[in-house]
Amino acid sequence: MPLAGELLAILLVWRWVLRLGGPGLILLGVLDNSIVPLTGSMDVLTIWLAAGHRDAWPYYAFMATVGAVIGGYITYALGRKGGKEAIERKLRKDKAEKLLKRFDRWGFGSVAVGALLPPPFPLVPVLLAAGALQYSRKKFVAALTLGRSVRYCLVAGLGSLYARPITSFFSRYYKPTALVLTGIAAIGSFFAIREYMHSRKHHSDKPGTLSPTKAA
């Protein structure tokens, strides 16, 4: 029943964040970009809030960007501290090497474009790669802010522009929408944890690598 418990927890967080409004976007952004992947939740919540308060859409775009940048910087800092092993713990070694080579080539563009692209593009590995390669903090923050601000301005702007049909849809299908987003977030978390456990096992099975038990 772990998945059922996770679904319930995410649903409760979703409702609470929705009531908070702008500050809720910061909280959700931190979670989505650092701790728990909540695929699509940030975009939907930003659209929802902007549609409900049309003139305040720049405010919601700003708050979403702030949350995403804070969360992204946390992930970057973890990658900076853990080095390349931080990525290998999240991805298989072959995928990690490809990602690092790609980032080493594109740098700023990797972060900016990655932050701009919608789900299901996985941004967290890119953030870890930036940290692992000791990419400039200032350039990283600038690139992440650029990508996320453009994305959330577009999302919030669409919410304001099509406010009437959006609010009508959410008022009618609030529960199904929340459940679908909760399910997607739970599935995303499940696969992220699964990939992490697989990479940990692969790393511990490498020749010359001691398992925690043997090391003790």
- Tell me the per-residue pLDDT of 139-192, one tens digit each, with 9 for 90 and over: 999 999 999 999 999 999 998 888 888 777 666 665 666 556 555 555 555 555
Question: Is residue 210 domain-resident?
Answer: no
Q: What is the pLDDT of residues 26-59, one digit of tens each?
A: 988 888 777 666 667 788 889 888 988 889 999 9
Query: What phi, psi does 37 have (nearest 5°)?
Result: -70, 115
Q: What is the largest CA-CA distance in the chain?
A: 62
Q: Which helix (H) or strand (E) holds 180?
A: helix 174-204
Q: Residue 27 in contact with residue 67, Cβ under 8 Å?
A: yes
Question: Is residue 37 domain-resident?
Answer: yes
State the Cα–Cα distance between residues 115 and 101, nearest whole angstrom. 19
Question: Is residue 216 domain-resident?
Answer: no
Domain count of the chain?
A: 1
Question: Is residue 21 domain-resident?
Answer: yes
Question: Is residue 32 domain-resident?
Answer: yes
The reported pLDDT for the residue numbered 65 is 96
Q: Residue 56 in contact with residue 63, Cβ under 8 Å?
A: no
- Show the domain range for 193: 2-203
Q: Which residues of 103-139 are buried (b: 16+ CB within 10 A; e: fewer)?
A: beeebbebbbebbbeebeebbbbbbbbbbbbebeeee
Question: Is residue 38 domain-resident?
Answer: yes
Question: Is residue 177 domain-resident?
Answer: yes
* 3-state percent helix, strand, coil for the chain, nearest multiple of 5: 85, 0, 15
pTM value surpassing 0.85: no
